[in-house]
């Protein structure tokens, strides 16, 4: 690596972490003429074979980030989760009773509880490893650097660049740094400080087991209908869900099991578990669930689920460093929306880096301030929603795992949860992502002009200021409407350009 | 009383219970030419002097029920809760830190947490006793009968009427009966059966203390701004809220205090409590809250808060008897929306009784079946939302009473709750009440035609069928569009008529 030739005046952005969010963000920045470099600490992109699902907002965000990302998703074999009904092309999540055997004549019968409509191609499932593999192919050689473990970030005095140091002794200079390095983020301490209690991961008291099962075997135990579409089997203190991936040749199955104990400090959070552990957890469940567990491999990975619920971040940025995805707001997976929330972040950041480039084209010296402003806007636009997700996912788990599912006197009560399940799901799936892009552009435009910078973006580093996030961007904009039509035109142009390209 | 002369072929509806919901429903039915009679077990309408607030959906429902109800509300001295800002006529609920003294130099300072906008005149506060008094004035003599404690409801064989018997030995014949008789409803057993576990009230482990304080005294301790507008002072295991009533001459104050113990069976749920009890509960709180408590009277009522959360009803109707308001879905008061939800019920029932009259004008013999269908539609339209409120109010209390408010390491986490607080509040305040009226009319029209009756309204009395409630009325209508334009025209006509009248 080494330093950059002085004549290189491209906008250089370093991304730390080569997970899905980092790669998707890199694609979005590259597409907007940013000189992007991605640093991954591992030696390569090896993933445990397991599925991941993307909701409609995440998919729409990918389209706006870079249609190439959608291409990668589809090349990786993504399929709609649950559009099994020929009369209805929409995707649904379906919740069914995984626990009880209510019908003595047919112990395999499972009560249908609820379905929530995610819209047309409103949820797509894919193998995580295959998606990563296709994403990596989007980049020319040199953009992605593996084996780079971040050690330090410092601001160089003279030319205002950020200097990254890696454990292998190399360095890299960038105009800005975005940490997409997950719940155990190394970048985070450069944003919130080494001694901040924020960002300490919390054990959610949930362990998850994931595996892929060939579709024909899944059909053998679940039947064609259940096997081919998303079902979430719920019951007391556990749930098990599955959906098709890999062009529907495989079913991705995840079991979530409550653990009343604490997780010992220092114990690895990913371990090898066994099918017998899963069998024990679902011992009293409906035989349909037990039969599916019997198809699990003898040994499989177990993840202890951690999140940032207890110690959220007071802000996602400092100067020209910011955090996205799990590094900023690691969530438990009960909405199936963790990566999708990071992809929304990536869209916001892609738009902002494009705005930074456009607004400083004739004044390169202003770039540093513009980047700082851009990350302030990012924090403003993204923090409330993404921290809500962390809370909501915990709540979804509580609703899924109610003890009441096992108590006939409480069945009616338990089922009244689904109106809330729907509201929470819809808040994610039907988010106005174009509205977010508009807010981002407008807020950046006004802040960059310095007109409302003090009012909107004042940040109280002592973390007293979470309440400021309830001043919505629209509230601020309502006070100064002169910029709106200009910004809206800019948005329309930006979105049109992207869509024409696709 | 006694029986009705055979030539009287008006639609006779008996309402059981003369609380706010019963009286508002009576106004709505009377306005639609229903021959309504309201039976109240007490000897008169005496209310403890305390405030009640109505959100925008409730107020809009009142307008659609009968503009006279709005007249009664305003005559009773209703005022916007919190439109204190001259630059902004909207009402807001405001949450502030009631517990901590964060500023050593000014222990009275209270951190502002959040405000949620309820819209223009989006919340109005009134004295409950004054509102009831004005509502009663809407009716000619004879409509409201006090001292009538319901003992029995039975269907008479010959003429298909419902026969009500009261403890005073009198009887009354009606075509239909609507129980608005509160959480301890006597009507309920005629709907869900004597032996059903549903409808058993649960103790929410919250005790509430209410009082009215003269505005000048409240200003003395809170200052002009806080005293004149709605504030909810929150903290660990308790909260205290206040808002103006009685043309802003009084402040209604309510304190909610967590009680870890169970409530002994048979113990009265309304008791005399003392100011010292309240003082003890708020002993460690911000001095602004303690000073306000000092203004409470020595002795004041304490209500143990019960709801129907644990044992919700499987349905709200049977034949020509149905339940509305607390009798159907008694909720804790943490959304300030319990009575409002009953007023939404009253709108739905008013519209339906109007439809019954209109659709059976040329076929009086069909009235019995039409009433049964109307109550089936009522159950379909109202149950999911109103049971959601019961759950949501419990959740709001949990969010208000977090222990984390007292733990500086958890302040950031605690404050991330407000996105959820906003979502839950908006679901109530910004409900599409005209859409509910449309659903009601359309579903009744189709069901009365018998075209979808079996599919939509089949009811599983064994209470297995709560999941059916997720089949939305719109889903059903989407399958048969021929009726839509007709029904929409009917709605438009109905709403226009009401609005012109007002």
Active-site positions of A read: 210, 243
Does A430 lie at the interface with B, CB-CB under 8 angstroms?
no
What is the Cα–Cα distance from B40 to B44, expressed in whole angstroms? Answer: 8
Mutate to test the interface with B, among A419, A430, A463 (most CBs of B within 10 A): A419
Rg (CA), chain A: 23
Closest residue to B412, CB basis, from A112, A114, A463: A463
Chain A residues with CB under 8 Å of B335 CB are: none
Helices (H) and strands (E) in chain A, counts: 17, 20
**For residue B134, what are the CA distances in angstroms to A142, B126, B131, B246?**
78, 11, 5, 13
Chain B closest-CA separation from residue A205 CA (Å): 18
If we measure between CA atoms, which residue out of A43, A51, A64 comes closest to residue A20?
A51
Determine the Cα angle at B119 with ends B206 and A475, to 5°.
Answer: 105
Mutate to test the interface with A, among B196, B384, B416, B468 (most CBs of A within 10 A): B416
Q: Which residue of B has its CA nearest to A308?
A: B413
B468 pLDDT above the threshold of 50: no
Reported as a single tens digit per residue, the pLDDT across B406-452 is 999 999 999 999 999 999 999 999 999 999 999 999 999 999 876 33
Pairwise pLDDT comparison (B86 vs B501), residue with the higher score: B86
Does B114 lie at the interface with A, CB-CB under 8 angstroms?
yes
Closest residue to B413, CB basis, from A310, A409, A410: A310
Helix (H, G, I), strand (E, B) or coil at A449: coil
How does DSSP classify residue B148? -
Confidence label for A84 from pLDDT (cuts 50, 70 and 90): low
Quick one: what percent of chain A has pLDDT higher than 90?
Answer: 78
Chain A residues with CB under 8 Å of B466 CB are: 412, 415-416
- As a whole number of Å, the end-to-end CA separation of chain A is 34
Closest residue to B413, CB basis, from A111, A311, A422: A311
Closest residue to B415, CB basis, from A385, A417, A467: A467
- CB atoms inside a 10 Å sphere around CB B154: 12
Does B460 lie at the interface with A, CB-CB under 8 angstroms?
no
What ipTM was assigned to the predicted interfaces of this complex? 0.87
Helix (H, G, I), strand (E, B) or coil at A44: coil
Question: Contact, B373 vs B453, CB < 8 A?
Answer: yes
Least confident of A79-88, B217-226, B404-413: A79-88
Reported as a single tens digit per residue, the pLDDT across B291-330 is 999 999 999 999 999 999 999 999 999 999 999 999 999 9
Residue B11 has which token pair?
A: 């639609």
A362 pLDDT above the threshold of 80: yes
Closest residue to A416, CB basis, from B427, B464, B466: B466
Chain A closest-CA separation from residue B389 CA (Å): 10
Reported as a single tens digit per residue, the pLDDT across A17-41 is 999 999 999 999 999 999 999 999 9
Question: Contact, A287 vs A108, CB < 8 A?
Answer: yes
Does A398 lie at the interface with B, CB-CB under 8 angstroms?
no
Closest residue to A112, CB basis, from B114, B416, B467: B467
Chain B residues with CB under 8 Å of A312 CB are: 412-413, 416
- A470-493 mean pLDDT: 36
Reported as a single tens digit per residue, the pLDDT across A208-236 is 999 999 999 999 999 999 999 999 999 99
Confidence label for B48 from pLDDT (cuts 50, 70 and 90): low
Please report the pLDDT score of residue B84 as a whole number.
57
Pairwise pLDDT comparison (B419 vs A472), residue with the higher score: B419
- A174-178 mean pLDDT: 97
Q: Is B316 an annotated catalytic residue?
A: no
Chain B closest-CA separation from residue A173 CA (Å): 34
Question: Contact, A198 vs A312, CB < 8 A?
Answer: yes
Does A95 lie at the interface with B, CB-CB under 8 angstroms?
no
What is the Cα–Cα distance from B355 to A237, expressed in whole angstroms? Answer: 47
Q: Is B210 an annotated catalytic residue?
A: yes
> Mean of the per-residue pLDDT values for chain A?
88
Chain B closest-CA separation from residue A15 CA (Å): 27
Helices (H) and strands (E) in chain B, counts: 17, 20
* Interchain CB distance below 8 Å, B467 and A412: no
How does DSSP classify residue A204? E
Reported as a single tens digit per residue, the pLDDT across B99-146 is 999 899 999 999 999 999 999 889 999 999 999 999 999 999 999 999
* Interchain CB distance below 8 Å, A419 and B309: no
Helix or strand holding residue A299 (H, E):
strand A299-307
Mutate to test the interface with A, among B412, B425, B426, B427 (most CBs of A within 10 A): B412
- CB atoms inside a 10 Å sphere around CB A426: 13
If we measure between CA atoms, which residue out of B408, B354, B411 comes closest to residue B377?
B354
Torsion of Cα atoms, A468 then A472 then A478 then A480, to 10°:
50
> Among B92, B99, B243, B316, which one carries the catalytic annotation?
B243
* Interchain CB distance below 8 Å, B467 and A111: yes
Does B207 lie at the interface with A, CB-CB under 8 angstroms?
no
B280 pLDDT above the threshold of 50: yes
For A6-92, where are the alpha helices, taking DSSP H only? 20-31, 56-65, 67-75
Please report the pLDDT score of residue B477 as a whole number.
36
Chain B closest-CA separation from residue A181 CA (Å): 22
* Interchain CB distance below 8 Å, A387 and B416: yes
Reported as a single tens digit per residue, the pLDDT across A156-169 is 765 678 999 999 99
How does DSSP classify residue A313? -
Chain A residues with CB under 8 Å of B415 CB are: 466-467
> Among B210, B318, B367, B424, which one carries the catalytic annotation?
B210
HSE of B483 in the Cβ direction (CA atoms, 13 Å)? 23
* Interchain CB distance below 8 Å, B309 and A385: no
Helix or strand holding residue A172 (H, E):
strand A171-174
B4 pLDDT above the threshold of 70: no
Q: Which residue of B has its CA nearest to A115?
A: B470
Closest residue to A197, CB basis, from B409, B423, B427: B409
Chain A residues with CB under 8 Å of B310 CB are: 410, 413
For B232-295, where are the alpha helices, taking DSSP H only? 275-281, 287-294
Phi-psi region of A241 (alpha: psi -120 to 50; beta: other; left: phi over 0): beta
What is the Cα–Cα distance from A233 to A250, expressed in whole angstroms? Answer: 18
Does A420 lie at the interface with B, CB-CB under 8 angstroms?
yes
What is the Cα–Cα distance from B7 to B4, expressed in whole angstroms? Answer: 8
- Over the range A211-232, which residues count as b (16 or more CB within 10 Å of their CB) and which as e? bbbebeebbebbeeebbbbbbb
Does B275 lie at the interface with A, CB-CB under 8 angstroms?
no
Closest residue to B416, CB basis, from A115, A388, A419: A388
Chain B closest-CA separation from residue A416 CA (Å): 7
Helix or strand holding residue B303 (H, E):
strand B299-307
């Amino acid at each position: 690596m080494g330093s950059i030739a002085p004549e290189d005046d491209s906008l250089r952005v370093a991304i730390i972490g080569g997970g899905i969010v980092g790669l998707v963000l890199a694609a979005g920045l590259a597409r907007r003429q940013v000189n992007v470099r991605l640093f991954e600490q591992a030696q390569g992109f090896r993933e445990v074979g397991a599925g991941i699902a993307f909701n409609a907002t995440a998919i729409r965000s990918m389209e706006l980030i870079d249609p190439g990302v959608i291409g990668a998703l589809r090349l990786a074999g993504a399929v709609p989760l649950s559009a099994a009904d020929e009369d209805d092309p929409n995707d649904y999540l379906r919740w069914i009773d995984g626990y009880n055997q209510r019908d003595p004549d047919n112990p395999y019968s499972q009560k249908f509880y609820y379905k929530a409509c995610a819209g047309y191609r409103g949820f797509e499932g894919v193998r995580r490893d295959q998606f990563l593999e296709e994403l990596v192919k989007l980049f020319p050689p040199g953009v992605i650097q593996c084996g780079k473990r971040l050690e330090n970030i410092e601001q160089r005095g003279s030319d205002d660049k950020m200097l990254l140091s890696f454990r292998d002794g190399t360095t890299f200079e960038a105009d800005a740094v975005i940490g997409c390095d997950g719940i155990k983020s190394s970048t985070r301490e450069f944003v919130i400080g080494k001694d901040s209690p924020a960002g300490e991961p919390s054990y959610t008291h949930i362990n998850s087991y994931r595996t892929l099962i060939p579709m024909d075997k899944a059909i053998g135990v679940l039947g064609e209908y259940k096997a081919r579409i998303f079902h979430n089997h719920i019951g007391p203190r556990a749930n098990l869900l599955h959906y098709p991936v890999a062009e529907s040749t495989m079913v991705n199955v995840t079991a979530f099991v409550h653990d009343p104990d604490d997780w010992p400090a220092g114990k690895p959070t990913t371990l090898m578990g066994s099918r017998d552990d899963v069998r024990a957890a679902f011992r009293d469940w409906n035989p349909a669930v037990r039969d599916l567990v019997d198809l699990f491999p003898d040994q499989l990975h177990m993840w202890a689920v951690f999140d940032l619920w207890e110690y959220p971040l007071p802000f996602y940025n400092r100067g020209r460093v910011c955090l996205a995805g799990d590094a900023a707001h690691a969530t438990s997976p009960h909405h199936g929306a963790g990566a999708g929330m990071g992809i929304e972040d990536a869209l916001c950041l892609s738009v902002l880096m494009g705005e930074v480039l456009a607004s400083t084209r004739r004044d390169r010296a202003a770039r540093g301030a513009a980047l700082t402003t851009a990350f302030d806007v990012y924090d403003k636009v993204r923090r409330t929603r993404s921290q809500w997700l962390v809370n909501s996912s915990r709540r979804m788990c509580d609703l899924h795992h109610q003890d009441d599912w096992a108590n006939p006197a409480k069945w009616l009560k338990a089922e009244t949860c689904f109106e809330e399940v729907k509201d929470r799901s819809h808040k994610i799936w039907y988010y106005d992502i174009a509205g977010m892009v508009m807010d981002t552009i407008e807020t950046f435009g006004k802040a960059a002009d310095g007109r409302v910078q003090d009012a909107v973006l004042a940040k109280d580093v002592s973390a007293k200021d979470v309440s400021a996030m309830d001043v919505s961007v629209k509230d601020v904009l309502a006070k100064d409407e002169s910029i709106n039509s200009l910004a809206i035109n800019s948005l329309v142009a930006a979105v049109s350009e992207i869509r024409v390209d696709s």
